[in-house]
Amino acid sequence: MSRRLTAAALALAAIALSGCISLFPKAEPAQLYRFDAAAPATATATGPLFGVLRLGTSFPRASAGDRILTVNDRGEAAYIAGARWVSPASVLFDEEIGSVFQNAGRARLIGRGEVIKADYSLKLDVQTFEAHYDRGPKAAPEIVVSVRGLITRNRDRALIGEQVFTARVRAGENRVGAIVPAFNTALTQVLGQLVAWVNGVDTTTD
């Protein structure tokens, strides 16, 4: 998709995030995009494998759907016209989490309902998932992805670790064809940090 995002298509609505609206909702059918985050490098296990129960992931309401959220420095928000994620961003994110943990180190991610022992639980809170127009509506935006992770030990519910992972990636141009890859790059960075962090849990004290 090569068309540039015009100033009109990126005009930011002067409303709160909870009141975001889609720009030009009666336009032609939107181009659909999916996440394409690169899997982290396979880690070499330096200790015993352990199970991690994957709890529900929270996602900001404004960016959880299939529209691509943009914000500016005034806190005004809008969605990019003519472009959508192929599924809600929250669903695509959960799929990526399951994918990046496969054969990626000591941690074995376990979903609810699986009959496998889980030594720990992982709760994820996506705090930011948006294109930030910090240089004006015509300049390439900065993609910001921020995820808070919380690990607890199931045996005694002790807090093992808590950390926020953030990536900021500037899109190459102010067009959807450059913005979506920047989202994927930011997501790759965050998930790589997350996987390394979970795999680094000290199980020798259990």
Up-side HSE of residue 130: CA atoms within 13 Å toward CB? 22
Q: Which residues contact 22 (CB under 8 A, 6 or more apart)?
A: 67, 79, 81
Q: In the structure encoding, which two tokens stand for residue 175, read together?
A: 């067009």
Tell me the mean pLDDT in the region 111-135: 90
69-107 pLDDT tens trace: 999 999 999 999 999 999 999 999 999 998 888 877 889
CB 153 within 8 A of CB 162: no
Q: Would the pTM count as exceeding 0.75?
A: yes
Q: Is 18's pLDDT higher than 60? A: no
CB 82 within 8 A of CB 23: no
Model pLDDT, residue 95: 92
124-167 pLDDT tens trace: 999 999 999 999 999 999 999 999 999 999 999 999 999 999 99
Model pLDDT, residue 45: 53
Cβ-based neighbour number of residue 28 at 10 Å: 8
pLDDT-wise least confident of 34-43, 108-117, 190-199: 34-43
What homologous superfamily is domain 48-62+85-201 in, according to CATH? ABC-type transport auxiliary lipoprotein component (3.40.50.10610)
DSSP class of residue 112 equals T
CB 146 within 8 A of CB 124: no
Model pLDDT, residue 43: 55
How large a percentage of the chain has pLDDT more than 90? 65
Angle (CA) 85 89 92, round 5° = 95
